[in-house]
Structure 1
Amino acid sequence: MDLCEQFSSHFTARKHQPKTIASLGGIVQGREETLRDYIERFTMEVVEVKGADDKLKCFIFEKGLRAAVMFKENPGLKEPQSMSDLLSRA
C-alpha cells in the first residue's frame, strides 16, 4: 500500500458523515429526560439533516417521546404545520 492510499484510508474513516433521516429515528426521550432536554437534543441533530420534509421530522420527534409525555394525543390540538410549530407547542 503506498503512502497516498494509507493516508486516504486513515482519514476517510474520520470524515464527518452527514446525518440522515434514519439517524433521527434513534433519538428517543430518556426515562428521566425532561421534554426541554429532549427537544434540545433532537433539534441539534435535525438541523444537520438535509432533504427531509417537516411532516416526517415531526413524526420522528413524536415517536421518540415517552408515552407519558404524549401531548399529541390531546384531541383539541391540530396537526402541526411545521417542525417549528411542533416544537413551540411542546
Structure 2
Amino acid sequence: GKDEPLRNFIERFNKEAVQVNTTDDMKKYLLERGLRPRSNFAKAVGIEKPRTLDELLQKAQSYIQYEEVEVADAIRHAR
C-alpha cells in the first residue's frame, strides 16, 4: 500500500516469491517494480543498483532498520 512500511512489503513479497517458480533476477525486477515511487528506498535502489536479489534484500533490511529507528524517535519526541 501507499503508506505500507517497507518491512511489511518485503515480508509480503517474500511469502509470494517462494511460491513462484522464476529466476532470482525476475524476482529482483518484480520487487524493484513494486517499490513506492519516490520513496527513499526506491531512490537509493535507483542510485546504487543492487546486482542480485540478495543484495537488494540486504539493502532493504538496512532501510527497514533505519525506518524503524525514525518511527521510534518520532514517537519518543512526540511525548
Name structure 1 gaps, 5 residues minimum.
1-29
- 2:14 counterpart SS class: helix
Letter in 2 for 1:38: F
Q: Distance in 2 between matches of 1:37 and 1:31?
A: 12
How does 1:1-90 map onto structure 2 within 5 Å? 30-50=1-21, 52-69=22-39, 70=42, 71-74=44-47, 77-81=48-52, 83-90=53-60
> Sequence identity of aligned pairs in percent?
37
Q: Which protein has the bigger helix share?
A: 2
Letter in 1 for 2:11: E
Taking only aligned residues, the RMSD between alpha carbons, in angstroms, comes to 1.3
State the shift of 1:58 in Å.
Answer: 0.5
State the shift of 1:49 in Å.
Answer: 1.0
State the shift of 1:53 in Å.
Answer: 1.0
- 1:68 counterpart SS class: coil
Name structure 2 gaps, 5 residues minimum.
61-79
TM-score where L is the length of structure 1: 0.57
The size of the alignment, in residue pairs, is 57
TM-score where L is the length of structure 2: 0.64
